[in-house]
Each structure stands twice: as structure tokens, then as C-alpha cells.
Chains A and B, each alone.
Chain A
Amino acid sequence: MIEEKKAMIKNGVILSLFALITTGLVTATQIMTKDQIALQEKKQLLKVLEQVLPNEKYDNALYLDCAIVDASFLGSKKPHKVYRAKKGEQGVALIIESTAPDGYSGNIEILSAIYLDGTVAGVRVLKHKETPGLGDKIEVEKSQWITKIKNIQVKSEQDMRWAVKKDGGMFDQFTGATITPRAVISAVKRASLYAQNETEMLFNAPNECTKADK
């Protein structure tokens, strides 16, 4: 009995020692890489922001100025970030993270820059799980399709041009994949309508991005 007890205690001590050491190493690495990771994420964010909205249109530190909104109109219940581009004190454009819930396989997360009159300045896909080779042409790395959504105004909810050609709109669908572009187009249209309807609220909301973290 006593022998067994001894062995158990010894094993317990050794196990906890190992747990301490490995946790310590992981913690040390985390502390060492923390700044670099934050920097990489910021770089990534800046790159995408620059792609959707030309630099010269605003003069504030865009990535440090955002509101966080809960709006199921933007496609999902999770909180969405809205970056606010300003020139001087004047609002210029809103860059909205939103979700296309009706992709071919799951949600498509997009980022759209919208000028105050509802004109879409640019769009990029942040995250998707569409079929490689078919639906994944919405990625800018794979195809130029997404770059065609540029400087086009959403006039109203009844604006029929905001649809794929198959549905009578102005945007190309892909051979073998209509659902994916349809989902993206309608998500961009909704983001623009949201920006037009809620402009004042979005610009007045408190800033949630003062630090460059998530």
C-alpha cells in the first residue's frame, strides 16, 4: 500500500513538473512572438483596407477607428466591425465587414468599402469555404472577378443591376458556380444599403479599435 502511494506521489510530481516546463516554454514563445503576430495581423488588415479603399480618399488612421455593430441585416448574428474613413473631420466612407450566409458551402465573410452615397468602392473576400476550382474564383488570388465590383452605386433596394447576369443583373457568374457570386453580390448590396441607412449612427458610435488588437 505504502509503496503504491509513494509511486503515485512520485508520478504526480513528475507529471506536474513536465506540465510546468512545457507550459513555461509555450508561454515564453508566446511572449516572444506576441508583437510580431500583432504586427502581421495589422499588416494584413492594412493590405486589405488599402485594396478596398484607395489611400488618398482619407487621412485618418483607418484601422484604429471602427465601430462594432450587431446587425442581422449584415448576414449573421455575430458582431461586425465597421471602419470609418474620414478626411479632416468629414466622414468619407464606411468599410463594413459582413457575411454572405447563402454561399454554396457555409458563410462567406466579405469586406466592402462604401462611400456615403452608397457607391461601392471595392470588395474583398476575407474567408470562405467554397469549392476549389469553381466557387473560389471570388478570391482575388484566383480571379479578377471581385475587382469588377468597383465604383458602382447601389441606388435602392430595388436596384436590379445588383445581381448576376443570369438573374438579370450586371455581374458575371462563373461557369458551374452561380450560387457563390450571387451570394457575394447580394451581401455587398446589403452592406451598402446598411451603410446608407445607418450612416449617422455608425459615425457616432464609440470607437472600439483604439488599440490595434482584435
Chain B
Amino acid sequence: MHQMNVLRLINNMNENIKDISLQGLWKNNSVLVQLLGLCPLLAVSTSLINALGLGLATMLVLIGSNISISFVRNWVPKDIRIPVFVMIIAGFVTIIQLLMNAYTFGLYQSLGIFIPLIVTNCVIIARAEAFASKNPVHLSALDGLMMGLGFTLVLLVLGAMREIIGQGTLFDGAHLLFGEWARVLKLEIFKFDNQFLLAILPPGAFIGMGFLIAGKNIIDEQIKDKEPKAQNTEKAPRARVTSLT
């Protein structure tokens, strides 16, 4: 009897982990589905390395804030939870900013204003409120990791697309993140005399993201077609969704 209980518990936990990962990476992806954090996303995804830098920084903040908010969730009265969350998030962002300034100086300069602006990335406060304030520490950490990873992956794809189309290169500026040796990583895919400006300027980011969201919806449709027996569970419509389901 006891053994069965333990087994069920473990099973349950595996389910949890799988579900949280799937939610963060795909089903409830912060960019493609929730459309959160678009300001830094659109502004910084001009190149793969910038995207990687901002993605990692955001992910670190997200994991850190989720863990600490989940850790203190039982001591924070409901009335003052939002100011407490904001303080924790702002604290983490400032710490990350200082660390980047100290150890990845080049990248710090090229991301500029967008590091402090991580504070305003709605994904972070949204996860604090919707997940970390209600779940135990280890699940909140996982949620932070997966949501951050989902954000970073979209940022990377968009950054790579814009860099290739706009500038004809990939990994340009890798030395800002990894040090001087990384200059050799730079790939020259095409050679332009003049860069393709549309891809580098903000409209290119919007267009690229439109294609990514459309792509995700196509894949979701195909998955749905393959399993026609899927139960049609009615859910309350969310305020901001882009998927058709």
C-alpha cells in the first residue's frame, strides 16, 4: 500500500514536470501564445548573440524571482504581494545588471537600456503571480526555467532570422559574450554591400514574429488533425491568446 502511494506520487511528479515544461516551451509560450515581453523581444532580436544575451539574462531573473517568490509565498499577505514581488524582481534585475557589467562588459554595452528594462517584462511578474505564488519551490524553479527557455528560444530564432536576412551573417559579435576567441564563430552567409534594413529595423521584428506565430499555429493544427478523438474540453477564453485552440 505504502509503496503504491509512493509510486503514484512519483508518477504525479513526472506528470507535473512534463506538463510545466510543455506549457513553458510550447503550449503557453510566453511570446508565441501569451504575447508578453514584446518590447525587449522586438528591440533586441537584431542578432543572434544579442538575443542569446538578453534571453539568458531574462531566464536567470525569471528563475531567481520564481524561486524566491515561491519561497516566501506563505509569509506575504495577499494585500502587499504585488509590491513585494516587484521589489524582488527589481532586486534580481539590478544584480544581474551589475554582474553583466562586471563580467560581460561588451554585451552589457550592446544590450544597453534593455537590461534594466527586463523589470518591465510582463512575463516575470505574470509568472510570479500566476505560478510561483501558488506552487512549491522546486516546481516554481522549473516553471521559471521553462518559461525562460521558451522566451529565449523564440528570441534566438527571431534573432537568427533577422541577422541572416538583414546582415547575411550569423554569430556576429560573439566575442561580446564569450571573449575574444569567439570572433572566429562569425559565419558569413551572404555578402551584401548594403544591409537589408527592413529586417534589422523594428518592422522586420514584427513581421518575423508574425511568421513564427503562424508557424506555431500550423503545427498545432496538424497535431490536432492527427488525433481526431481528442476531447473537446471547453475552457474559459483567455484575454490574450493567439492560438486557435
Could you tell me which A residues sit within 8 Å of B by CB distance? 7, 10-11, 14-15, 18-19, 22-23, 25-26, 29-30, 33, 36-37, 40-41, 43-44, 131-134, 175-176
Contact = CB atoms under 8 A, between A and B. Distances in A.
B194 A15 contact: no
Given A11-B79, A22-B90, A33 B197 contact: no
> What does DSSP make chain B's interface, helix, strand, loop or mixed?
helix
Interface in B77-96: 77, 79-80, 83-84, 87-88, 90-91, 94-95
B87 A19 contact: yes
A133 B94 contact: no
B95 A36 contact: no
Contacts of A175: 193-194
A23 B84 CA distance: 12
Given A44-B105, A132-B195, A133-B195, A15 B91 contact: no
Contact of B76 (A14, A22, A26, A176): A14
Given A26-B94, A133-B195, A175-B194, A33 B87 contact: no
B98 A18 contact: no
B200 A36 contact: no
Contacts of B95: 25-26, 29
Contact of A33 (B72, B83, B102, B193): B102
Contact of B101 (A23, A40, A176): A40
Contacts of B57: none
B101 A14 contact: no
Interface residues of B, number: 30
B166 A133 contact: yes
A18 B195 CA distance: 49
A128 to B, nearest CB: 12
Interface in B16-60: 46
Given A15-B84, A22-B87, A22-B91, A37 B197 contact: no
B80 A132 contact: no
B75 interface: yes
B194 A40 contact: no
Interface in B123-161: none
A168 B172 CA distance: 36
Contacts of B94: 26, 29
Nearest to A175: B194
Contacts of B122: none
Interface string B82-122: 01100110110011001101110100000000000000000
A14 B74 CA distance: 12
16 contacts: A11-B79, A14-B75, A14-B76, A14-B77, A14-B84, A18-B88, A26-B91, A26-B95, A33-B102, A37-B98, A37-B101, A37-B102, A40-B101, A132-B195, A133-B167, A175-B194
